Amino acid sequence: MKRYRFYCLALLMAGALGAQAQEEAAADTLSAAARPANTIKKDVKTRPVSGRVCSVSSGTPLPGALVSVSGYEGYSTLTGEDGTYKFEVPEYATALQVAAPDHNTVRVGINKSGLLGDVILYSTMTRSKYGADDNIMNTVEADNFAYSPSLNITSEIGDQLGAYVRTISRGGTPGIGNYMMMHGINSLNANAQPLVVIDGVIVDQQYDRSVLHDGFYNDILTSFNVNEIKSVEVVSNGTALYGAKGANGVILIETKRNTSLATKIDATASVGITLLPKKLDMMNGAQYKTYASDLLQGTGTNITNFSFLSTDPKNYYYNKYNNNTDWGDVIYDEAFSQNYGITVQGGDDIASYFLALGYNGAHSVLNENDMNRLNIRFNTDINMFKRLFVRFDASYSNVTRNLKDQGAPEGYDEGTVTSLNFLGWAKSPMLSPYSYAAGQISTAAYDITDEDYLAQALSGMDNVNYQLANPAAINEYGTAQNKNYFENSYMNIAVTPKWEFNKHLYISSLFSYTLTNTADKYYVPINGVPAYYVSSLDLVRENEIRSMYASQNSITSDTKLVWENQYGAHSIDLMGGFRYMNDRYKVDTQLGYNTGSDKTPFINNTQNKQTTGASNRWTSITWYGQARYDYRKRYFVEGNLAVESSSRFGKEAKEGFKLGGVRWGVFPGIQAGWVLSNESWFDVPGVDYARFSMGFDVSGNDGIAYDATRTYFESILYQGWSNGLVLGNIGNTELQWETTRRFNFGADLNFLNNRLNVKLDVYKSWTDNLLTYHELNFLTGVENNWVNGGSLENKGFVLSFNAHLLAKRDWNWELGASVGRYKNKLTALPDGQQYVDTPVYGGTIRSEIGQPVNLFYGYKTGVTEQGTSVYATSREAAADGLFIKAENGDPIYFGAGDVKFVDKDGNHEINEEDMQVIGDPNPDIFGNIFTSVSWKRLRLDVNFNYSLGNDAYNYLRSQLEGGSRFMNQTVAMVNRWSYEGQATDMPKASWDDPMGNARFSDRWIEDASYLRLKSITLSYELPLNNAFIHGLTFWGQANNVFTVSKYLGQDPEFSMGNSVLEQGIDRGLLANSRNFMLGIKINL
């Protein structure tokens, strides 16, 4: 009976493994995945191998485990009841692969004797330490998104792949995604984020496109439902295959396909709540009044009685100006989110399908910034004829949002502040959001009048936007589908016919059409928003309305011929292909001022109308080839070559070759690997697997501005009235791709019966032909144009480990971590420049030869006699004699209460010559830490991520502690200098900051290191044996549980833009906050 049960189990195992093999075969053919099964060759010399398989869970020998030859089909056996096995394997076989239900697959090298030690299998409740194949490219993969509440896959990439992809959250707006980078910073001005390929289709991430709402980026990846994604593979090496697009690394995303012949229906539902983000400590109403009163001193007013400062309760305005409003309460609310999805998959030998429907509704904690998404995906695999297979995939996604501006504005001259969350900080707490009439504050109607408490004192100041809007009124009067509303729809149809000439040779051709439509409507209401000065018009306007409509059509055709075969110990794979991509992006934007009424948000009757637009079309063609060879699964070598031309390349580009009237770039790469543990002589106790690999790739970055190679005129609105054409660019026909050469070394080691896995990836890269600005002579009428010039280097490593700390029958505990480090260095610049300065949000980002490309370059504060950075006494300030120069050249001396800046050149004048490097946004190390504990079917996953040693420019704080505008300040400003002898680091408040105390200095540079408990997930699979319900899983998750950091902002993790020069700058976009989710998954 026992024997019978054993054979039944073995039969089931074989079926399960067959399904697994089918799943692997569906993986991308570019990766080292499954090969066609070899016919067992009878004439192959064999030798016996034997050993025993044990389950660490039960601590006993494991019967029924499938033991097969790794890398070669046709040689396998099952373990007996005592867990032992013995079978003949080819002499060239070097490793076995052991698999069993509910256990992770393990590989073991074959030694000379063929007498192998015990193989320990671990529960699938822990992560597998072996991939499907020997991974000489050092790719890493994430495929566990079962409980993900993420609206964007980049969050999961960050959580699960830690140091392999440095992901930086763009903030707490639902689905806004993450900034990503791999292997350091590989570009200065072009895109430096990795290429994303979804189901073989390169996705244009629109990194260089902008939308109307400040602080928002339309991440195309938000169009993809995480629950539809099967796996994410990070390709750091071997990127030559992606030609001029691979220099920043590649992320391969696979969506789910059918894996079962039986119909399977999975339904998921989850709901959650997101708590409010961390609050900054702001002044209360009384403190703000004192601050404002202080600030009035610099306005030159002679008024002695201000309504807002009256202490007389009989004063009509007393109630109006004696509130203590926490404006955060007005604009923030705990947010509810809900996610529903259903997938149906099934089919037969002829056709199989995977259908997914998903809906996500996510409120934002920032009111009226909600997101809704509808996803439909239909992936099919059809066996048309005997040798013709067709994949037909279609997907559609629609994302809609109520949207408002976010973050601190870069300036205050081009309009009034409309950023909700910034107004939440800056709006005076003494005011109420509700209207004031008859001496009473309403409890129902928002205040829609212009903020007027400064009208007495500042009435003479023309063209100064000192009034702030009521954020509640912005939401009340600015929320509607024809006001502030965003919509992005993404549709993709992909057809991939594949013809198998024989079992070794096939040709496949992917044709994909993608349509991405983006519409953004932007509206500044009249009610509750003060009239504001617009410097570009030199006019005061009442409100404005904008609209944008963009459409991108992308066509991809990718045809490849693949041949694969094995000759005994030799495996050879050859592939050649041709990829054609054509994109067209059209965008129209309109702007008009003064709509007349909030009930008529129409642009047709506005004033100062402006219409702009663009129509870009570009094409790239890539010929690519790949050759792989391995001997006995010990020695691997892989060569890649891509030859690419793009309409963005200049026709006279210096590198590459010219053919057919266009310039072609050549991108070769080679990778080699050695599986040391597959050597017969390798028998090191405690080391179960050892692989080393190294390689060299040349890849490019074609992120050249669309029209950089062309000379063109562009239209302008002269003085706000007349249309005209001016020279817009002087094209550089020699412009070409950036070229990155990267050397890598990798290791993959398993120790202690596979309890411990260590992976290492070390790299050094050199990027040449950097796309940089070239300053043009003023006679040209154009400030600069693009050239290739300059070089940079990156070196670094990624180290990860994963350990099974506890493996028992019911208990499993796993701990892992990853550490990434990169060191970036600019090595050359064009035109003999030593550095390039880029102004960003009041700061200067310096890229200097010998240094990283994105350093903060500003003023350093000195140390006074009191040990502070602010002069406590006039005497000390006078003794130092530091000054700035007025416009007429007269010195204006720093005094008590002013910041003491370091006079680098010792001439006492504080000017640009005294600036120096004050911070580096690049971390020393970054990565993640995770641990999983499971008890039976109950599982707890805990994920941390961290970043150490990175500096941040806290621009938001510079606005909230600048002490120069009538905006609420943090309570730190209560301690501002206000009397002789006061020892403090907060300078005096002074209107318009005549001494530049709030200038870009190390006052705003902070250590933004952090350790974050990113997620805790508790899940339970309910054991069911029901005819209708096959599985039921409950889970609960907490995200962003806590963050440990010295950082003085809301959240030390932020990314305000897609440029490398914008990283590390915190402009106060909506911060991430705690989120709690509850979910259920039902398998029908």
Partner 1 sequence: MKMKLKYGIRTGLAAVAAAVSVICCTDTWDEHYGADGSLAGSAGATLWDNLRQDEALRPFATVLDSCGYAPVLNGSQVFSVWAPQITEQEAAGWIAAYQEARAGNDGENPALHEFIRNHIALFNHQVWEQTDDTVRMMNGKRIALTSSSFGGEAMLGDKVPSSNGMLYKVAGTVPFYPNIWEQVRREATGGSDGLDSVEAFFRNWAYEVLDEGASVPGGIKDGKTEYLDSVMISYNTFFNSYGRIDSEDSLYWLLVPTNAEWEKIVERNRSFFVHHNDRLEAGDSLQDLYSKYMLLEASFFNARTQPGRNWNAENPDSICSTMYDARNYGYNCFERPFDEGGVLQGLTPVECSNGRLYKTAEWNVPLEKSSYMQTVKIEAENEQNWEYVNTTTSNTVVATRMKADAAYAGLVSGGEFLWVEDNNTRYNKRAQIIIKLPGNLSGCPYDIKVVFASPLVLGADYLEEAMLKRRVTASVNYHQSVSGGFKTTADNVCTNEEIDAMLMDTVTVAEGFNARVSGYSGYGFPVCAYGEEEARVQLTLQGILGANPPKGYASPLLIDCVLFVPRPDLIEEND
> Which positions touch partner 1 (CB under 8 A)?
280-281, 283-284, 286-287, 289-290, 293-294, 296-297, 302, 304, 306, 309, 311-312, 316-317, 438-439, 752, 803, 805-806, 815, 873-875, 878, 896, 929, 944, 946, 948, 970-972, 974-975, 978-980, 982, 1007, 1009-1011, 1044-1046, 1048
State which residue, 306 or 532, has the beta carbon closest to partner 1.
306
Residue pair 89/111 in contact by the 8 Å Cβ criterion: no
Please name the residue that has the structure tokens 């144009």: 785
**Helices vs. strands in the chain: H and E counts, helices first:** 9, 55
State which residue, 612 or 931, has the beta carbon closest to partner 1.
931
> Taking CA 850 as the corner, what is the angle to CA 849 and CA 854, rounded to the nearest 5 degrees?
70
**950 phi and psi, to 5 degrees?**
-95, 135
To partner 1, the closest distance from the beta carbon of 1043 in angstroms equals 10
State which residue, 294 or 880, has the beta carbon closest to partner 1.
294
State which residue, 189 or 954, has the beta carbon closest to partner 1.
954
Name the 3-class secondary structure at 883. strand
State which residue, 699 or 990, has the beta carbon closest to partner 1.
990
Alpha carbons 463 and 202: distance in angstroms, whole number: 48
State which residue, 44 or 283, has the beta carbon closest to partner 1.
283
State which residue, 317 or 692, has the beta carbon closest to partner 1.
317
Token pair of 46 as six digits: 């064999």
How many beta carbons lie within 10 A of that of residue 319, not counting itself?
14
How many beta carbons lie within 10 A of that of residue 768, not counting itself?
16
To partner 1, the closest distance from the beta carbon of 445 in angstroms equals 16
State which residue, 280 or 1060, has the beta carbon closest to partner 1.
280
Amino acid at 302: N
Token pair of 970 as six digits: 């943090």
State which residue, 74 or 994, has the beta carbon closest to partner 1.
994
How many beta carbons lie within 10 A of that of residue 676, not counting itself?
17
To partner 1, the closest distance from the beta carbon of 919 in angstroms equals 16
To partner 1, the closest distance from the beta carbon of 1019 in angstroms equals 23
To partner 1, the closest distance from the beta carbon of 976 in angstroms equals 10
Alpha carbons 208 and 196: distance in angstroms, whole number: 15
Q: Is 300 exposed, middle or buried (0-12, 13-18, 19+ CB in 10 A)?
A: exposed
To partner 1, the closest distance from the beta carbon of 972 in angstroms equals 5
Cα 151 → chain centroid:
12
State which residue, 477 or 944, has the beta carbon closest to partner 1.
944
To partner 1, the closest distance from the beta carbon of 59 in angstroms equals 13
State which residue, 317 or 631, has the beta carbon closest to partner 1.
317
The closest alpha carbon to 622, from 647, 653, 586, 600, belongs to 647
Distances (CA, A) of 875 to 867, 901, 907, 1047: 15, 16, 19, 34
Q: Compute the radius of gyration of the chain from its Cα atoms.
A: 32
To partner 1, the closest distance from the beta carbon of 539 in angstroms equals 23
Amino acid at 469: A
How many beta carbons lie within 10 A of that of residue 18, not counting itself?
10
To partner 1, the closest distance from the beta carbon of 1012 in angstroms equals 10
Amino acid at 59: G
Nearby residues of 778 by Cβ (< 8 Å), 6 or more positions away = none
State which residue, 261 or 815, has the beta carbon closest to partner 1.
815
Q: Is 686 exposed, middle or buried (0-12, 13-18, 19+ CB in 10 A)?
A: exposed
Alpha carbons 272 and 1053: distance in angstroms, whole number: 22
The closest alpha carbon to 599, from 521, 523, 485, belongs to 523
The closest alpha carbon to 174, from 329, 358, 338, belongs to 338
Alpha carbons 88 and 40: distance in angstroms, whole number: 12
Nearby residues of 694 by Cβ (< 8 Å), 6 or more positions away = 671, 672, 673, 743, 744, 745, 746
Of all residues in the chain, what percent are helix, strand and coil, respectively (each to 5)? 10, 45, 40
State which residue, 478 or 1052, has the beta carbon closest to partner 1.
1052
- DSSP secondary structure code for residue 1030 in this structure: -
State which residue, 745 or 801, has the beta carbon closest to partner 1.
801
State which residue, 247 or 430, has the beta carbon closest to partner 1.
430
To partner 1, the closest distance from the beta carbon of 979 in angstroms equals 4
To partner 1, the closest distance from the beta carbon of 928 in angstroms equals 12
To partner 1, the closest distance from the beta carbon of 406 in angstroms equals 22
State which residue, 33 or 461, has the beta carbon closest to partner 1.
461
How many beta carbons lie within 10 A of that of residue 520, not counting itself?
23
To partner 1, the closest distance from the beta carbon of 58 in angstroms equals 17
State which residue, 664 or 944, has the beta carbon closest to partner 1.
944
Q: Give the CA-trace dihedral at 160, 163, 167, 169, to 10 degrees.
A: 80
The closest alpha carbon to 367, from 339, 398, 401, 338, belongs to 401
State which residue, 272 or 927, has the beta carbon closest to partner 1.
927
Residue pair 775/784 in contact by the 8 Å Cβ criterion: yes
To partner 1, the closest distance from the beta carbon of 878 in angstroms equals 7
User: What distance separates the 2 farthest-apart alpha carbons in the chain?
Assistant: 108
To partner 1, the closest distance from the beta carbon of 684 in angstroms equals 17
To partner 1, the closest distance from the beta carbon of 155 in angstroms equals 22
Amino acid at 827: T
Residue pair 631/641 in contact by the 8 Å Cβ criterion: no
The closest alpha carbon to 802, from 757, 769, 847, 835, belongs to 757
To partner 1, the closest distance from the beta carbon of 1045 in angstroms equals 6
To partner 1, the closest distance from the beta carbon of 898 in angstroms equals 12
Alpha carbons 308 and 321: distance in angstroms, whole number: 5
